[in-house]
């Protein structure tokens, strides 16, 4: 077991620590998966009130950005005629801004505009589909492209160029993790672990003084040494095909990723960023993905398998976190 520690520890977390506080666990369903929240519960806080607030927050995010909900604002955008501008609420606008930033930084390895390709390959709401013909893929690929989006951050307006469909599945869960942790902070809860479908963030520390320990997914059947993270003011997301099978498209080609990457883990201050970067680095793969992670100072682990041989790549930022 390898231990990765945060590059810095916030002294205020220990200053406010109360070892007598209980850890409360809440959980439920959202975004087609499960959510879980652990937090040091102040004596004056009602967990049921917190649970209702979390559910309300998550329901609102789904109503805005779900690719699966035909009544969502995202679906409205996807069905809008060419040239229409939509005014986005703050959450949606924040996600779009982050998505476009990472799309540009990854040279399109992450692209939020491939919704129609996702559906065509059977990874979206329509469910499993026959393998599409090359011409159909080429047509939808030509219609996609993050560069086609016109987004005005100041006014939070987004323009539908025509026939373009957003799919924010590669960032929405992570962003929702951040949103829930931020919500808890407004309720006076600063020491918590939030998880949605394997994307996590840890704020503060546990009442016993320990960080929030989490073990990122290690592909089964490999000899890769497990990794344990101390999530203190950090988030982590993992992408890849080891558990779920093929489900990642390369936005640059319109076809499923076939580069041997079976797992990519990214540690970042924000879970939304970690989520999108994990997708981008999975698409890029191997040494090229490691080089991009190094360029952007991302703590990253990429695991690939070729001809039965499993190789692990660790970025300098992650190596620096490993306990000697």
CA distance linking residue 224 with residue 215, whole number of Å: 13
| 285 annotated to a ligand binding site | no
| 208 annotated to a ligand binding site | no
| 279 annotated to a ligand binding site | yes
CA distance linking residue 324 with residue 320, whole number of Å: 9
Known binding residues: 170, 275, 279
Known binding residues for Mg(2+): 170, 275, 279
């Amino acid at each position: 077991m390898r231990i990765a520690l945060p590059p810095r520890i916030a002294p205020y977390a220990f200053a406010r620590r109360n070892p007598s506080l209980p850890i409360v666990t809440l959980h439920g369903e959202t975004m087609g998966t499960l959510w879980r929240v652990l937090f040091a519960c102040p004596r004056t806080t009602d967990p049921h009130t917190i649970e209702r607030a979390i559910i309300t927050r998550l329901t609102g995010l789904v109503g805005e950005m779900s690719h699966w909900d035909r009544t969502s604002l995202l679906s409205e955008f996807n069905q809008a005629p060419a040239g229409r501008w939509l005014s986005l609420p703050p959450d949606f606008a924040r996600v779009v801004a982050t998505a476009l930033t990472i799309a540009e930084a990854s040279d399109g390895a992450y692209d939020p505009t491939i919704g129609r390709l996702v559906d065509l390959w059977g990874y979206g709401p329509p469910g499993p589909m026959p393998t599409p013909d090359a011409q159909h893929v080429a047509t939808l690929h030509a219609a996609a492209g993050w560069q086609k989006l016109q987004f005005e951050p100041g006014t939070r307006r987004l323009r539908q160029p025509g026939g373009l469909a957003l799919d924010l599945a590669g960032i929405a869960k992570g962003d929702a993790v951040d949103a829930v942790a931020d919500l808890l902070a407004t309720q006076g809860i600063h020491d918590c672990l939030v998880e949605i479908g394997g994307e996590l963030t840890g704020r503060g520390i546990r009442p016993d003084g320990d960080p929030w320990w989490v073990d990122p997914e290690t592909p089964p059947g490999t000899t890769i040494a497990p990794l344990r993270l101390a999530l203190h003011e950090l988030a982590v997301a993992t992408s890849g095909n080891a558990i779920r099978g093929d489900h990642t498209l390369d936005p640059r080609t319109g076809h499923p990723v076939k580069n041997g990457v079976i797992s990519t883990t990214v540690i970042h201050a924000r879970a939304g960023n970690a989520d999108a970067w994990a997708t981008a680095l999975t698409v890029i793969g191997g040494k090229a993905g490691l080089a991009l992670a190094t360029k952007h100072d991302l703590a990253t682990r990429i695991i690939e398998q070729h001809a039965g041989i499993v190789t692990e790549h660790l970025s300098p930022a992650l190596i620096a976190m490993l306990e000697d």
